[in-house]
C-alpha cells in the first residue's frame, strides 16, 4: 500500500502512498542537526483565553452563549478562515504541564458539538505551542466546517471511494489489518494507533476512528483523548513538546468508504532563533522531509510503553 525508493546508497527513503500518491522523504541522518532546543515556557500577561479576559475578549454564538464542557469553553473564531470556524479553549490554566483525559475529552466533545449540523466537511484541529503555529500559547483547539473538504481531507475521501469501487473493500479496514501486523503498530484502545508509513510530518501517528461523521464522534471522545495523550507523552520522552493534530471527518454519504482519522505530528520546540521544521519541501512541494522511520518509532513506542511510561 506504499512504495519505497532508496536514494544516496540507502541513506534516504522516498515513500509513496499508493492510495493518494502522497510522498515523504525519510533521512534519519538529519536528526544529528539537533535543531529542536529544550522547551522553556513563556508567560503572557495579555492572553485573551485566560479566565476573565475570555468572556470579555472572545465572541459568543448568535444566541449569546458559549459551549462549556468541564473546563473547556467553545466559541466562534474572531478571525475565521473557514465557512464555520470555532475555537475551544481547553483549560483554565494558561500553561499546562500535562493534560488530563477529562480536559481533552471535554474539549473534544465541546468542539465536536460546535461543528454538528454545520457544513458537510469538518475537522477538529490543534496547534500546540507557537513553533507549531499557535498564535496564542493558551491551549486551544479549532474546528472548521466547509461545503468542500480541505485538500488532504478531499484526497483521502475521494481515493477511499475509488478504492472501495475498485476493490470492494474499505481501505481503512485493509489499512488497520496491515498496520496492526507491522512494526508501525502502537496500541489499540477502541481506536487503533500506528506510526504512519508515509508520514506527512515528523513521527506522524494516525488513529482510525470507528465512525465517519463528526455527529457520531461522541462515544469516541474519551478514547481519542487517551490516545492523543499517550502519543504526546511519547513525543515528550523524545524531547519535543510542540505538535499539530487534525481529526478529519467525512459526511454521511462517505461512510461506505471513509473512516474519520486522527493525525498527530511532532514539531520542534519554540526557540528564540525562529528555527522551523517547515521549509520549502513541506510548504511549497507538499513533500515532507522527516527524520524518523515509522517502524523505528513503532518499536520505540511499544518498548517504552511496556514500562508504563505512556
Binding site for Zn ion (CB under 5 A): 47, 49-50, 94, 138
**Nearer to Zn ion (CB atom), residue 41 or residue 167:** 41
**Nearer to Zn ion (CB atom), residue 91 or residue 259:** 91
Least distance in Å: CB of 136 to Zn ion? 7
- Please give the radius of gyration of the chain, using alpha carbons only, rounded to the nearest integer: 19
Instruction: Quickly tell me which residue has 477511499 as its cell.
Output: 160
For strands 289-290 and 23-26, give the pairing: parallel
Residue nearest Zn ion by beta-carbon distance: 47
Least distance in Å: CB of 140 to Zn ion? 9
Cβ atoms within 10 A of the Cβ of 64, count? 6
**Nearer to Zn ion (CB atom), residue 138 or residue 222:** 138
Least distance in Å: CB of 92 to Zn ion? 9
Least distance in Å: CB of 44 to Zn ion? 6
User: Which residue(s) pair with 146 in the sheet?
Assistant: 121
SS3 6: strand
Cell numbers given for 189:
484502545
Cβ atoms within 10 A of the Cβ of 201, count? 21
**Nearer to Zn ion (CB atom), residue 139 or residue 223:** 139
Least distance in Å: CB of 195 to Zn ion? 33
- Cβ atoms of 94 and 218 within 8 Å: the answer is no
**Nearer to Zn ion (CB atom), residue 59 or residue 147:** 59
Amino acid at each position: 500500500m506504499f512504495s519505497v525508493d532508496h536514494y544516496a546508497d540507502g541513506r534516504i527513503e522516498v515513500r509513496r502512498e499508493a492510495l493518494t500518491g502522497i510522498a515523504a522523504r525519510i533521512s534519519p541522518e538529519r536528526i544529528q542537526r539537533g535543531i529542536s532546543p529544550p522547551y522553556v515556557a513563556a508567560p503572557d500577561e495579555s492572553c485573551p483565553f485566560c479566565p476573565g479576559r475570555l468572556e470579555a475578549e472572545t465572541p459568543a454564538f448568535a444566541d449569546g452563549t458559549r459551549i462549556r464542557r468541564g473546563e473547556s469553553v467553545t466559541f466562534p473564531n474572531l478571525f475565521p478562515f473557514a465557512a464555520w470556524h470555532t475555537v475551544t479553549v481547553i483549560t483554565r490554566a494558561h500553561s499546562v504541564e500535562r493534560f488530563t483525559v477529562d480536559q481533552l475529552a471535554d474539549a473534544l466533545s465541546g468542539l465536536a458539538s460546535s461543528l454538528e449540523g454545520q457544513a458537510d466537511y469538518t475537522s477538529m484541529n490543534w496547534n500546540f505551542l507557537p513553533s507549531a503555529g499557535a498564535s496564542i500559547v493558551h491551549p486551544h483547539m479549532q474546528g472548521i466546517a466547509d461545503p468542500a473538504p480541505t485538500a488532504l481531507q478531499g484526497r483521502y475521501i475521494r481515493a477511499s471511494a475509488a478504492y472501495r469501487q475498485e476493490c470492494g473493500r474499505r481501505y481503512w479496514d485493509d489499512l488497520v489489518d496491515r498496520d496492526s501486523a507491522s512494526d508501525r503498530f502502537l496500541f489499540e484502545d477502541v481506536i487503533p494507533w500506528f506510526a504512519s508509513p508515509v508520514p506527512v510530518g515528523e513521527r506522524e501517528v494516525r488513529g482510525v476512528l470507528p465512525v465517519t461523521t463528526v455527529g457520531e464522534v461522541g462515544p469516541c471522545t474519551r478514547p481519542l483523548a487517551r490516545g492523543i495523550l499517550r502519543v504526546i507523552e511519547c513525543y515528550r520522552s523524545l524531547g519535543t513538546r510542540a505538535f499539530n493534530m487534525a481529526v478529519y471527518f467525512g459526511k454521511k454519504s462517505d461512510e461506505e468508504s471513509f473512516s474519520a482519522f486522527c493525525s498527530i505530528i511532532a514539531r520542534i520546540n519554540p526557540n528564540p532563533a525562529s528555527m522551523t521544521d517547515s521549509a520549502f519541501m513541506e510548504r511549497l512541494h507538499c513533500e515532507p522531509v522527516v527524520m524518523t522511520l515509522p517502524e523505528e518509532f513503532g518499536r520505540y513506542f511499544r518498548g517504552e510503553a511496556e514500562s508504563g511510561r505512556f
